[in-house]
Structure 1
Amino acid sequence: MGTSISASGPFTTHAGDEAARVDTFFGRGAWIEGAALAQLDVAARLPGVSAVAAFPDLHPGRNGPVGACILSDRVLPLLIGNDIGCGMALFELDLPLRKLRVDKAADRLRAVEGQWDGDASERLVADGLAPSCFARSLGTIGGGNHFCELQAVDETLSETSRLDTTRVYMLVHSGSRGFGEEIVSTLPSGAVSGLEPSSSSESAYLAGHDAALRWARLNRAVVAERAAEALRADVRLVVDVPHNLVRRTVSGYVHHKGAAHAEAGEIVPVAGSRDSLSFVVRALAGVERSLGGVSHGAGRKYDRAAMHHRVGRTKSDREAMNRNRFGGVVVCEDRDLLLEEAGSAYKDAARVVDDLVGHGLVERLASMRPLVTFKRAREEAAFDVRDSRRDRR
């Protein structure tokens, strides 16, 4: 739609508008950009907004603050953006860690590149979706910060953790691809200020939103199955957690933008960068204070444009970026993406989790080290979201 939320628009707010309550769940040492705080203030003054929760991975986004939950009496689609249902799913492979050879595994994961050759229509129908619902995109990772990563338990941080230190795990980060984008592109012009409760526009958006949530969850499962097949292993879902969605609650609509949805007792993966540890945490009763949200990852520290000037200035620098500090492998043969998604582009996930723990939102279960991070095998094979628009529901 070409719109964004910022201190100057497109949402209409005024200096005298009363701001909603904003609860911040990060400490003084957290890296929070001024632009993100400005977007947070605008969000708190939107029509119908009554509460905002901001997390330590908070950073500015195209359509509003990323790393926040926003409670409103109406649906505000632009706060969710076009990647409806984006989330992370953690899987366990029946592959012993001692048998994994990272270089061989990295080569085999290239099979995840491009269109899936399975029966997409059958899987879509089984999940209550139309057989032609963006079928060509099903089982594809997408661009940007999406990935498929093999991980190992680096350290067990709780006696209640059930993660197996002898197994290989897989973390998949992906969304609804062109499906979510189509839903947003068909919104009426007045959607910037929210959808009228109980209106036909609200009903249509929520129906599409819920379908995109199912599609995105299925997509992560198919990506994991493709990767497991390439590795000649079986795969088991541990948990799937969306972080771009709107939820109906007794208090109104909670908008999650880059904020994982979790109820007390549920486990959540908190992704680091491709060059740092990720974490698995369990939500505590304190998530009631944070509108049922927690951080989904480390959060960006530097935007994409800035990274082109910060890393990879020489060929040897770029080649070095194909390995992480744990001896793992990074598969990303798109030069721009390699630079933009460098480890230094992200905040410290350990500090993010420390803040969540300090505010009583989660407890740590385990830290996870990256073994193979798959993003894109070759630049010319990238499956562009725009190509998927030919697939219709």
Structure 2
Amino acid sequence: MDNSIQMLSEKASLIASKNTWIDGLAIEQLVASSNLLNMSKVVGMPDLHPGQGHPIGAAFLSTKMFYPALIGSDIGCGMALWQTEISIAKLSIDKLTRRIGDIDQPAEPHKYKLGTLGGGNHFAELQKVSKIYNEQQFSELQLNAKHLFLLVHTGSRGLGHGILQQYMDEFGEQGLTANSLAANSYLARHDNALAFAKLNRQTVAARVLDNLHTAGQEILNVPHNFLESISWQGESHFLHRKGASPSTAGIVIIPGSRGDYSYLVKPLANEDLLYSIAHGAGRKWRRADCKAKLENRYDSNEMMRTKLGSRVICDDRDLVYEEAPQAYKSIDSVIESMQQANLIEVIAQLTPVLTYKTKGG
């Protein structure tokens, strides 16, 4: 077994190289989750970090029942990537910043805020290819390194939140037995939220592309918070992913922080590691600690620039600090861990150009 794959207990594994920082609380939460009733296996990804009771950046496999709390409130949250027609040769960040506008308001009067990013770590980001590792695969995808890409990270907004809240009010942390009325009701609503989240990313992208007066081609649209039924070791199981991208859905993009690279990768499916890979860099600092750590060193205007030369649009001053690059792990350490575990083949590296968080306070 590769040295980046660690066995924490009989049912819990962790993918992390010696260069990957992992919070001890996240490991405790991962092992605790493996002890839930009818849990068969859990795997922590290299972006593992603590969540509310259960860790983020992990896959959880159960039989006979499933746990909505392991999916969380942002059902269907994921990453989607578009190839734009914006030429890098004619790139003007000032012009892009002016044109991108305000996409904080829903695209239409909609109960669940369709076409909006939301807060937290969600974003829309223009990126450029900085390195191609696999020319053949890049070419087969018919991508153009001379044009910018648009990456959108968001989910099901108020819809997913309402689904989990109703479930928690009625059942708390307990799981739902397969084929029960409650389980079937949750699954139907889960699938609806999954579809809404995909549409939401597409709607956000359409609004951004329209504001920038360009067209775009969708390259991928992959969730990382969802539940699916799979056959594992010949038996029917439920696979929960919370901040873990599937290795069975084609090409995936794994972003770093707003001041770090993103990587376009080809996942390599692995049953023992629950057909999953990391979904991003993963937090290193808790949100509540970020402002105190950074505001005496950097003013908010300085936080609008990154070491890679990119810019940030974020008018929420607290969020500027909460989402600072320093608050996240190095994406290279996450990629290294998965390469050592033979989980991915890297196709290309992308560099942020302009990251949109919010125009609102």
- Does TM-score exceed 0.5, indicating one fold? yes
Q: 1:373 is matched with which residue?
A: 355
Partner SS for 1:99: coil
2:104–2:118 contact (8 Å) kept in structure 1: no
Q: Indicate whether 1:333 and 2:337 are aligned.
A: no
Over the residues paired in the alignment, what is the CA RMSD in angstroms? 1.5
- Percent identity between matched residues is 38
Q: 2:300 is matched with which residue?
A: 318
Letter in 2 for 1:181: H
> What are the within-5 Å matches in structure 2 for residues 202-351 of structure 1?
202-250=183-231, 251-263=236-248, 266-285=250-269, 287-313=270-296, 317-351=299-333
Q: 2:3 is matched with which residue?
A: none
State the distance in 2 between where 1:111 and 1:183 align.
Answer: 28
Letter in 2 for 1:210: D
> What are the within-5 Å matches in structure 2 for residues 19-168 of structure 1?
21-73=11-63, 74-117=65-108, 134=111, 137-159=113-135, 160-162=137-139, 163-168=143-148
User: Which runs of no fewer than 5 residues in structure 2 stay unpaired?
Assistant: 1-8
Partner SS for 1:252: strand
Q: 1:177 is matched with which residue?
A: 157
Per-residue displacement from partner, 1:151-202 (whole Å, max 9, x unpaired)? 0001001122233210110110001001001111211633512001110000
Per-residue displacement from partner, 1:66-99 (whole Å, max 9, x unpaired)? 1110000111000111100000101111221112
Per-residue displacement from partner, 1:231-278 (whole Å, max 9, x unpaired)? 0001111001101001111230000010011217x2111010111111
Cα deviation, residue 303, structure 1: 0.7
2:126–2:149 contact (8 Å) kept in structure 1: yes
Letter in 1 for 2:242: K
Q: 1:7 is matched with which residue?
A: none
> What are the within-5 Å matches in structure 2 for residues 194-209 of structure 1?
194-209=175-190
Per-residue displacement from partner, 1:336-387 (whole Å, max 9, x unpaired)? 00000000000000110111011000011111100000001131xxxxxxxx
Partner SS for 1:223: helix
Per-residue displacement from partner, 1:293-316 (whole Å, max 9, x unpaired)? 1001000000101101111226x6
State the distance in 1 between where 2:130 and 2:271 align.
Answer: 30
1:20–1:50 contact (8 Å) kept in structure 2: no
Q: 1:382 is matched with which residue?
A: none
Moved over 2 A (4+): 188-191
Partner SS for 2:163: helix
Letter in 1 for 2:352: P
Letter in 2 for 1:142: G
Letter in 2 for 1:276: D
2:102–2:358 contact (8 Å) kept in structure 1: no
Q: 1:391 is matched with which residue?
A: none
Partner SS for 2:182: helix
Partner SS for 2:337: helix
Per-residue displacement from partner, 1:9-53 (whole Å, max 9, x unpaired)? xxxxxxxxxx65222221233211110010011101000100111
State the distance in 1 between where 2:90 and 2:124 align.
Answer: 19
Aligned length: 343
Q: 2:171 is matched with which residue?
A: 190
Partner SS for 2:205: helix
Q: Which moved more, 1:101-110 or 1:217-226?
A: 101-110
2:247–2:268 contact (8 Å) kept in structure 1: no
What is the TM-score normalised by the length of structure 1? 0.84
State the distance in 2 between where 1:72 and 1:114 align.
Answer: 39
Q: 1:389 is matched with which residue?
A: none
Higher strand proportion (structure 1 or 2)? 2
2:78–2:223 contact (8 Å) kept in structure 1: yes
1:332–1:338 contact (8 Å) kept in structure 2: yes
State the distance in 1 between where 2:180 and 2:264 align.
Answer: 40
1:149–1:372 contact (8 Å) kept in structure 2: yes
What is the TM-score normalised by the length of structure 2? 0.92
State the distance in 1 between where 2:78 and 2:176 align.
Answer: 24
Cα deviation, residue 318, structure 1: 1.8
Letter in 2 for 1:277: Y
1:20–1:52 contact (8 Å) kept in structure 2: no
State the distance in 2 between where 1:182 and 1:61 align.
Answer: 19
Q: 1:388 is matched with which residue?
A: none
1:111–1:230 contact (8 Å) kept in structure 2: no
